[in-house]
Amino acid sequence: RKEVEQDPGPFNVPEGATVAFNCTYSNSASQSFFWYRQDCRKEPKLLMSVYSSGNEDGRFTAQLNRASQYISLLIRDSKLSDSATYLCVVNIGNFNKFYFGSGTKLNVKP
Amino acid sequence: DTGVSQDPRHKITKRGQNVTFRCDPISEHNRLYWYRQTLGQGPEFLTYFQNEAQLEKSRLLSDRFSAERPKGSFSTLEIQRTEQGDSAMYLCASWIPEAGYTFGSGTRLTVV
């Protein structure tokens, strides 16, 4: 089993739609969680950290469910510019090493 | 400009040749990571440095791979006797708790 697993998608949604991605992780001791965005042939860029209490940044909401060992990303009112691959990142074991999921591809259509 | 520079951006090499990549991290970031990414996959951890000390290496880093960070500033990743399976994007990142990873634009390696 992979340390971090994501649905690869693609998720094809119309503009204005709400879409949610989940990411499951295997190590219950994990403490740090992030969502990164990666555009085609570009480097990953930090979208948001995921806090235990959940956090929101504009149209984006991230949540952590420790009991079920998953994090989620909700995007409201999708824009064409949201089209990208979304990577979840989790630290495994110690605080110095992080694992990336394979990413979930989102296509927002006009 | 992400603040992390990688050179070269692209490298095409023949199988069996040696290649070396360079990464210049954000100057105040002590921690530097190397990741490898293939098409359709997320970045895979290779190794990381705390200042000049290489603290951990992945099993993915075979004997043909070596990384250095002399003086705790820039880092190099060398691959000896390249194989076609080494073709990938090699990403360097510096890291601080407040900002997470800041990645460079990567070096895309193609082994022919």
pLDDT digits over B1-28, tens only?
559 999 999 999 999 999 999 999 998 8
- Distance in angstroms (rounded) separating the CA atoms of residues B9 and A78: 32
pLDDT at position A73 is 97
pLDDT at position A106 is 97
- At residue A94 the predicted structure's pLDDT band, cuts being 50, 70 and 90, is low
Which region among A40-44, A85-89, B12-16 has the lowest average model confidence (pLDDT)?
Answer: A40-44
pLDDT at A101 over 90: yes
The answer, for A101 touching chain B at a CB cutoff of 8 Å, is yes
Query: Which residues of chain A lie closer than 8 angstroms to B41, CB-CB?
Result: 102-103
Q: Do A43 and B45 touch (CB under 8 A)?
A: no
- Distance in angstroms (rounded) separating the CA atoms of residues B95 and B97: 7
pLDDT at position A51 is 85
pLDDT in tens, B35-56: 999 998 999 999 999 999 998 8
Q: Do B105 and A89 touch (CB under 8 A)?
A: no
Averaged pLDDT of chain B = 92
Cβ proximity of B59 and B45 under 8 Å: no
Q: Do A100 and B48 touch (CB under 8 A)?
A: no
Cβ proximity of A23 and A5 under 8 Å: yes
pLDDT at A34 over 70: yes
Instruction: Name residues whose C-beta falls within 8 Å of residue B35's C-beta, 6 or more positions apart in sequence.
Output: A100, B43, B44, B45, B46, B90, B91, B92, B93
Query: Which of A4, A49, A101 is the closest to B100 by Cβ?
Result: A49
pLDDT at A10 over 90: yes
pLDDT at A93 over 70: no
pLDDT in tens, A52-69: 888 999 999 999 999 999
Interface of B with A (CB under 8 A): 2, 31, 35, 40-45, 48, 50, 55-56, 91, 99-106
Angle at B78 between CA B66 and CA B33, to 5 degrees: 65
- At residue B104 the predicted structure's pLDDT band, cuts being 50, 70 and 90, is very high
pLDDT at position A95 is 59
Q: Which of A38, A43, A49 to mutate to test the interface with B (most CBs of B within 10 A)?
A: A43
**pLDDT average, residue stretch A6-35:** 93
Min distance A50 CA to chain B CA atoms (Å):
11
- At residue A50 the predicted structure's pLDDT band, cuts being 50, 70 and 90, is very high
pLDDT at position B2 is 54
- Distance in angstroms (rounded) separating the CA atoms of residues B76 and A24: 33
Averaged pLDDT of chain A = 92
